[in-house]
Amino acid sequence: MAYLTDRKRAQGTGSGRQGTMHHWQMLVSSILLVVLVPLFVLTFGIGLGGTYEETLAYFSRPFPAIVTALCLIVGILHFKREAEEAIEDYMHGVAERLTFIAVGALAYTLIAVALFALIKIAL
């Protein structure tokens, strides 16, 4: 017991059972969102509201397609971590683990579907 270091004592004891990686990732994506959110709202907002043909033509252009893909990937991964943080704080045990996995499944499915749709429209 006397040989345990403070670091060893602290390791794996937070509500997320992990270190500071999550916090660092949130800092990075929080800064990215300041650029991406206004870009996405404008790009997607302009794309919204046209006819079927106009919409397809708009999202096959490189700029709207790339901006939409980029913002959805970074945004959904950020919101996934946001939801995971809340789950770690308020849920415990099996329910916590299963909800955590479900949020991950939802987030990765959304990204896959979004990329498929954008590629299909663009090509």
Q: Kindly write out the interface string for residues 22-41 of this chain, putting x where it contacts another protein by CB under 8 A and - elsewhere.
A: ----xx--xx-xx--xx-xx
* Tokens standing for residue 9: 């004592």
Q: Kindly write out the interface string for residues 73-92 of this chain, putting x where it contacts another protein by CB under 8 A and - elsewhere.
A: --xx-xxx-xx-xx------
How many CA atoms, within 13 angstroms, populate the side-chain half-sphere of residue 26? 12
Question: Who contacts 10 (Cβ-Cβ below 8 Å, separation ≥6)?
Answer: none
Binding residues for another protein, how many (CB under 8 A)?
Answer: 47
> Which one among 20, 21, 48, 62 touches another protein, defined by CB under 8 A?
48
Query: Is 43 in contact with 12 (CB distance < 8 Å)?
Result: no
Contact between 56 and another protein by CB under 8 A: the answer reads yes
Contact between 9 and another protein by CB under 8 A: the answer reads yes
Q: What is the four-CA torsion angle of 110, 93, 10, 84, rounded to 10 degrees?
A: 20
Query: Is 65 in contact with 115 (CB distance < 8 Å)?
Result: no
Which residues would be at the binding site for another protein (CB under 8 A)? 1-2, 4, 6, 9, 26-27, 30-31, 33-34, 37-38, 40-42, 44-46, 48-49, 52, 55-56, 59, 68, 72, 75-76, 78-80, 82-83, 85-86, 103, 106-107, 110, 113-114, 116-118, 120-121
